Amino acid sequence: MIVLVALNLRPAVVAVGPLLRQIQDDLDLSGTAAGALTTLPVLFFGSYGLIAPFTRRRPRGETLLVTSMALLVLGLLVRVIPLQPTLFGGALLAGIAISIGNIAVPAIIKRDHPQAITTVTAVYTVAITAGAAVSTGVVVPLRHALGSGWRPPLMLLAIPAALAGIAWLPRLRGVAAATPPPEAGSSKVWRSALAWQVTCFMGLQSLLAYVTNGWLSSVFLDRGLSDATAGYALGLTNLVQAAGALLVPVLARRLRDQRPLVALTVLLTAAGYAGSIWAPAGSVWLWIVILGLGQGLGFATALSFIGLRTSDPHMTAQLSGMAQGVGYVIAALGPLAVGAVHDATHGWTAPGVLVLAVSAVMLVPGLGAGRDRTVGEEAAPADRHTAAV
């Protein structure tokens, strides 16, 4: 059931990338405005997490997921109305919808699968990346097959979102309407250095992921690939992220903590970006595989931190809200900054240097978050092993 929701938590955003050039031409958008189109939903990816701590009673996860899918369907349909305000308004609604799902799922995993956090999180991550990969890989061929513009392929994304919402409806029966938030839970999280390390790692790896989905197709087009091939390449790097995510529970069994996973994430991500931008065009398929492995590994590790670094589902919900609420605000800066730098320099060298710098900086909070501790008990015994897989 979680997988059905996960499949819909990225296509509304990442499927825009392969069609971005057509959207720009159709609506006469600048590079900065096009970057804002992919930035806007990401900016709101964690919005519910920032609001939830201030609500008197918090809806159960099942209610949140049905609400998430309903709002997502609405946002997808509004976005294809042929007006610029609805294009950006629909993107905003989609971002809010995804934020609700983003925050709800880690707490459900902690509640229902406390002994298998990394494994279930890896499966959840695979489903997210699979949804992203399929959507980015098919939107351009679908546009060609339909003989249409960019709107119909994006509108069709509403169908699987509706099906996921319908599938969760039976779970609402007999579920309590709401649960009160834990006393002082939020303040403990916001005062925790460990929570901020988790948040910064989440934000920086997400920033790089949305730069990939927002701009990598444009990089490939400027390097001479066709629009269909650029879409396939972006789809492949998203698909390979699933393999990177599946490595997390496998490697975690052999490690005392997650710091080696963080280091490997940084190495593969930086190498993948450098090769995709500057290596000979004929080798691009190798580099996008390396990039996909690194980003899949990083995403699954970041999501696992939310459950591994907390002691109970209530605290998990609090850290999930903080890490994704603040983290996705950080992430939203990526596509916008790359678009602005590309507009200013008319090339990909400066944006490439920027993403490599972010990759290096990501190592610092990642190594802090990777140590085996929990929020509120951050001076854990050195001999404690990694949480259950």
| pLDDT at residue 386 in the model | 43
| pLDDT at residue 388 in the model | 42
Report which DSSP code applies to 366.
H
Burial of 332 (0-12, 13-18, 19+ CB in 10 A): buried
Is the pLDDT assigned to residue 40 strictly greater than 80? no
- Give which of 298, 305, 299, 303 is closest to 265, Cα–Cα: 298
- CA 97 to chain centroid, in Å, comes to 13
Residue 254 CA neighbour count, 13 Å, CB half: 6
What is the tens place of the pLDDT at every residue in 288-329?
Answer: 999 999 999 999 999 889 888 988 777 887 888 889 888 888
Average pLDDT, the chain: 84
What is the tens place of the pLDDT at every residue in 136-184?
Answer: 778 888 888 888 788 888 899 999 999 999 998 888 775 554 455 554 4
| pLDDT at residue 378 in the model | 61
Residue 179 φ then ψ, to 5°: -130, 140
| pLDDT at residue 266 in the model | 97
| pLDDT at residue 252 in the model | 80
Q: Sorting pLDDT into bands at 50, 70 and 90, what band is 57?
A: low
Is the pLDDT assigned to residue 362 strictly greater than 60? yes
| pLDDT at residue 62 in the model | 86
| pLDDT at residue 382 in the model | 46
Q: Average of pLDDT values for 350-375? A: 94
What is the tens place of the pLDDT at every residue in 67-96?
Answer: 999 999 999 999 888 777 888 899 889 989
The pLDDT > 70 percentage for the chain reads 91
Q: Average of pLDDT values for 348-375? A: 94
Is the pLDDT assigned to residue 232 strictly greater than 60? yes
Q: Average of pLDDT values for 218-247? A: 85
- Give which of 249, 254, 255, 262 is closest to 370, Cα–Cα: 262
DSSP alpha helices (H): ranges in the chain?
2-6, 11-14, 20-27, 31-43, 47-51, 61-79, 84-112, 117-146, 151-155, 158-168, 185-190, 193-222, 227-252, 259-278, 284-308, 313-345, 349-369
Q: Sorting pLDDT into bands at 50, 70 and 90, what band is 381?
A: very low
| pLDDT at residue 97 in the model | 93
What is the tens place of the pLDDT at every residue in 175-231?
Answer: 554 455 554 445 678 889 999 999 999 999 999 998 997 788 889 989 888 877 887
Under DSSP, is residue 326 helix (H, G, I), strand (E, B) or coil?
A: helix
Rounded to whole angstroms, the Cα distance separating 389 from 369 reads 18
Q: Sorting pLDDT into bands at 50, 70 and 90, what band is 281?
A: confident
Q: Sorting pLDDT into bands at 50, 70 and 90, what band is 383?
A: very low
Is the pLDDT assigned to residue 120 strictly greater than 80? yes
When mean pLDDT is compared across 51-65, 153-167, 221-235, 248-262, the lowest value belongs to: 51-65
| pLDDT at residue 54 in the model | 61
Burial of 184 (0-12, 13-18, 19+ CB in 10 A): exposed
